[in-house]
C-alpha cells in the first residue's frame, strides 16, 4: 500500500508502517525520545503510553502505561534531552515529571502554579530549563535543580490570550510561544534581571497559532494556524548582511514565506525535521502534508517551499500532532481524534 | 482412496464457493459504492437534505439554559441555519450551523454553542466537520464567541470542568421539559 505523489521534479512516497492502538478517545500528542527509540503518547484517557521496539528492525509495541497522576486530559508530553525524564502537561492545571532512573518511569514531581489547563511543555537543550504554558495566558519557566527540584524561575505574562504551545530553541536558551491571540513571542533569559524577557513578537497570522517548530539551526521558525496557513520566519541578528535594523541589539524575526491554499482546515501541528529539513503538518482536514524548501526559487531573503506530498485521509479524523523521528530520517509519527497513532516512512527522490 | 478423492472434491467445491461468495460480496460492495450519489443526481440532493434534517432534529430539542423551552421554541436554532457546505455521501461532510442568541449580550451564547457541538459529537452517526457561528450582528462579542466555540481544545477542556459539563448535560438530555 503506497501513496505516491509528484510535484515538479520531485517524486515522493509515504508508506504507512504501523498503527498503534490502545488509547481511548482523542490522542492529543506524540513525542519521540531523544534517541528516537521510544515514543510517548497521551490524550483524553489521562494515560501516557510508551511504545518501543524489542530489537532493531522489529515493530513498535506497547511498553508501559503511565497512569494515576493526572485528573484530566493530558495534552502533551516532552522528553528531557538526557532521556531520563518525561514531563506531562495536563488540563488539570499541573505538569508532572516522570523519572526513569529507578528503571521504570515514576511520577516524582508535580509542578503546580498555573490557574487552569496546561497546554504545552518543553525542555531546553541543556536540560536546565522547563517551560509550560496555559489558558491562563502565562508562560512559566522552571529551573531544573539537583535532587528533582523544580523552581519557578519566571512567570511571563506577555500574551493577551491562551498560550497554545511552547518550544525551546534547538541550541540556545531562547523560548518561543504560540497563542490564541494570533501571535508568536520569543523570550530570552535576562541575566542581569534574572528574568525572562519578551524580545520579539511575530505578527502576521490572522487566527490562533496552534504550533511552531524551529529548524535545525534555530535561525528559522515555522508556525501553523487556524487561518490555514504555515509561515516561515527568519532571524536577523545585529549586523546582518540584509541590512535589517535591529533595535536594542536584539535579533529581529521576519516572515519570509507564507504557505497558503494547501490546507483545508485548522493546522494543529507542525514538525521541522532536523535531519532532512522537511516540514510536516497535521491538519483538521485529516491529511498530512510534507513541504520541502525549493532550491531554485529562493533568492535573497525570500524563500519558497514546495508541497511535495499529501497523505489524504491519513487518519479518520483531525490530526493533532506530527513528529519526525530525531534519528531515523523520514520516519514520522502522527496522532488523531480517531484515537490512533500512526507511523509513516517518507521517501523523497529527486528525479 | 476413493473417499479421499470425494473429500478432496468437496474441499475444492467448498473453496470455489467461498471464492464466489467473496466475489459476490465484493461486487456488491462495489455496486453500493458506485450507487453513492454524486452532485446533480436527485438522490444526492435527497441524501444531503436528509443529513441536514438529521442534524436539525438533533439540535432543535436542546433546552435553553435558562428558560423552560427548546432552542427551536425560542428560534435560537432554525432549519435554514444548518448548511451542508461540502457534502460527500459516505465520507466527511462539512457542516456549518448558525444560531441566533435571544439577546445581543446573551451571556449564555458560549454555552449554547457548546451544547450544539457536544450533542452532535455524541449522537450523529455521519462523519462531519462542524463549524458553529452566531448569526451575523446578533451578538456584541460575536467574533470572540465564534472563535471560542470552534476551538476544539477549549471545548474539550470546558467539558472536563464539572460545573460546566453538568450544565451541558442538562441542556442536551432528551427527557421532557
ipTM for the assembly:
0.93
Give the CATH superfamily of A4-350.
Answer: YVTN repeat-like/Quinoprotein amine dehydrogenase (2.130.10.10)
- Predicted pLDDT at B39: 80
For residue A316, give the nearest of A27, A76, A45 by alpha carbon. Answer: A27
Query: What is the C-alpha separation between B61 and A274, in angstroms, rounded?
Result: 52
Of A160, A180, A318, which to mutate for an interface test with B (greatest number of B Cβ within 10 Å)? Answer: A180
**pLDDT of B19 strictly over 60:** no
Alpha-carbon distances, residue A254 vs A160, A179, A251 (angstroms): 21, 18, 10
Question: Can you give the pLDDT at residue B104?
Answer: 80
Q: What is the pLDDT of residue B17?
A: 44
Among A115, A208, A283, most B C-beta atoms within 10 A, so best to mutate, is A208
Predicted TM-score (pTM) of this structure: 0.90
Best probe of the B interface among A43, A46, A70, A73, by most B CBs < 10 A, is A73
Q: How far is B52 from chain A (nearest CA, A)?
A: 21
Q: How many helices (H) and strands (E) does chain B have?
A: 6, 3
Q: Which of A117, A285, A318 sits opposite B157 (nearest CB)?
A: A117
Out of A67-81, A115-129, A269-283, B31-45, least confident range: B31-45
Task: State residue B92's pLDDT score.
Answer: 87
- Residue in A91, A265, A286 nearest the CB of B160: A91
B92-144: pLDDT as tens digits: 899 999 999 988 877 799 999 999 999 999 999 888 999 999 999 988 899 99
Find the closest chain A residue to B157 by CA distance. A91
Cα A230 to Cα A268, A296, A298, B63: the distances in Å are 11, 20, 17, 40
- Residues belonging to chain B with any Cβ–Cβ distance to chain A shorter than 8 Å: 92, 127, 129, 147, 151-154, 156-157, 160
Instruction: Specify whether the CB–CB gap between A95 and A87 falls below 8 A.
Output: yes
Collect all residues of chain B within an 8 Å Cβ-Cβ radius of residue A117. Answer: 157
Across the range A144-155, mean pLDDT stands at 90
Q: Which segments within A21-117 are labelled E, that is strand?
A: 27-32, 38-43, 48-53, 60-66, 74-79, 85-90, 95-99, 106-111
Task: Write out residues 93-112 of A within 8 Å (CB-CB) of B.
Answer: none
- Strands of the A3-7 sheet, one edge to the other: A3-7, A10-20, A341-350, A331-336, A319-324
Subunit contact B147:A180, Cβ cutoff 8 A: yes
Residue ranges per domain, chain A?
A: 4-350
Binary contact (B160, A73; C-beta < 8 A): yes
Which DSSP string corresponds to A151-172? EEEEEE---SS-EEEEEE-SSS
Amino acid at each position: 500500500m503506497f501513496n505516491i505523489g509528484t510535484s515538479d521534479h520531485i517524486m515522493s512516497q509515504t508508506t504507512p508502517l504501523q498503527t498503534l492502538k490502545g488509547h481511548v478517545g482523542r490522542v492529543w500528542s506524540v513525542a519521540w525520545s531523544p534517541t528516537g527509540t521510544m515514543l510517548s503518547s497521551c490524550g483524553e484517557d489521562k494515560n501516557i503510553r510508551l511504545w518501543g521496539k524489542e530489537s532493531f528492525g522489529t515493530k513498535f509495541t506497547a511498553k508501559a502505561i503511565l497512569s494515576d497522576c493526572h485528573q484530566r486530559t493530558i495534552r502533551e508530553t516532552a522528553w528531557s534531552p538526557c532521556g531520563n525524564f518525561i514531563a506531562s502537561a495536563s488540563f488539570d492545571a499541573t505538569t508532572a515529571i516522570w523519572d526513569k532512573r529507578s528503571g521504570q518511569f515514576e511520577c516524582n514531581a508535580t509542578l503546580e502554579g498555573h490557574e487552569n489547563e496546561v497546554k504545552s511543555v518543553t525542555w531546553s537543550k541543556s536540560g536546565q530549563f522547563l517551560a509550560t504554558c496555559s489558558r491562563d495566558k502565562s508562560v512559566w519557566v522552571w529551573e531544573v535543580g539537583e535532587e528533582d527540584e523544580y523552581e519557578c524561575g519566571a512567570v511571563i505574562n506577555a500574551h493577551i490570550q491562551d498560550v497554545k504551545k511552547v518550544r525551546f530553541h534547538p541550541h540556545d536558551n531562547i523560548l518561543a510561544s504560540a497563542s490564541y491571540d494570533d501571535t508568536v513571542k520569543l523570550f530570552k533569559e535576562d541575566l542581569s534581571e534574572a528574568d525572562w524577557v519578551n524580545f520579539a513578537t511575530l505578527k502576521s497570522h490572522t487566527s490562533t497559532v496552534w504550533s511552531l517548530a524551529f529548524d535545525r539551526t534555530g535561525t528559522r521558525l515555522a508556525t501553523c494556524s487556524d487561518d490555514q496557513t504555515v509561515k516561515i520566519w527568519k532571524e536577523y541578528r545585529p549586523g546582518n548582511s540584509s541590512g535589517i535594523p535591529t533595535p536594542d541589539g536584539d535579533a529581529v524575526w521576519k516572515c519570509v514565506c507564507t504557505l497558503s491554499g494547501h490546507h483545508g482546515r485548522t493546522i494543529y501541528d507542525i514538525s521541522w525535521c532536523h535531519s532532512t529539513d522537511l516540514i510536516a503538518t497535521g491538519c483538521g482536514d485529516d491529511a498530512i502534508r510534507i513541504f520541502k524548501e525549493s532550491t531554485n526559487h529562493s533568492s535573497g531573503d525570500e524563500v519558497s517551499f514546495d508541497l511535495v506530498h499529501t497523505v489524504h485521509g491519513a487518519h479518520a479524523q483531525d490530526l493533532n500532532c506530527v513528529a519526525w523521528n530525531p534519528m531515523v530520517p523520514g520516519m514520522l509519527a502522527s496522532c488523531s481524534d480517531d484515537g490512533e497513532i500512526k507511523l509513516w516512512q517518507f521517501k523523497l527522490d529527486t528525479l | 482412496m476413493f473417499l479421499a478423492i470425494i473429500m478432496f472434491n468437496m474441499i475444492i467445491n467448498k473453496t470455489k464457493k467461498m471464492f464466489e461468495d467473496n466475489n459476490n460480496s465484493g461486487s456488491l460492495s462495489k455496486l453500493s459504492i458506485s450507487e453513492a450519489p454524486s452532485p446533480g443526481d436527485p438522490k444526492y440532493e435527497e441524501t444531503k437534505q436528509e443529513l441536514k434534517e438529521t442534524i436539525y432534529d438533533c439540535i432543535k430539542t436542546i433546552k435553553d439554559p435558562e428558560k423552560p423551552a427548546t432552542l427551536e421554541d425560542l428560534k435560537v436554532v432554525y432549519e435554514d441555519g444548518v448548511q451542508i457546505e461540502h457534502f460527500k455521501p459516505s465520507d466527511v461532510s462539512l457542516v456549518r450551523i448558525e444560531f441566533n442568541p435571544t439577546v445581543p449580550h446573551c451571556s449564555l451564547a458560549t454555552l449554547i454553542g457548546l451544547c450544539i457541538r457536544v450533542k452532535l459529537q455524541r449522537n450523529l452517526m455521519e462523519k462531519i466537520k462542524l463549524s458553529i457561528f452566531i448569526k451575523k450582528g446578533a451578538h456584541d462579542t460575536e467574533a470572540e464567541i465564534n472563535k471560542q466555540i470552534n476551538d476544539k481544545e477549549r471545548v474539550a477542556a470546558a467539558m472536563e470542568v464539572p460545573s460546566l459539563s453538568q450544565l451541558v448535560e442538562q441542556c442536551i438530555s432528551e427527557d421532557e421539559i
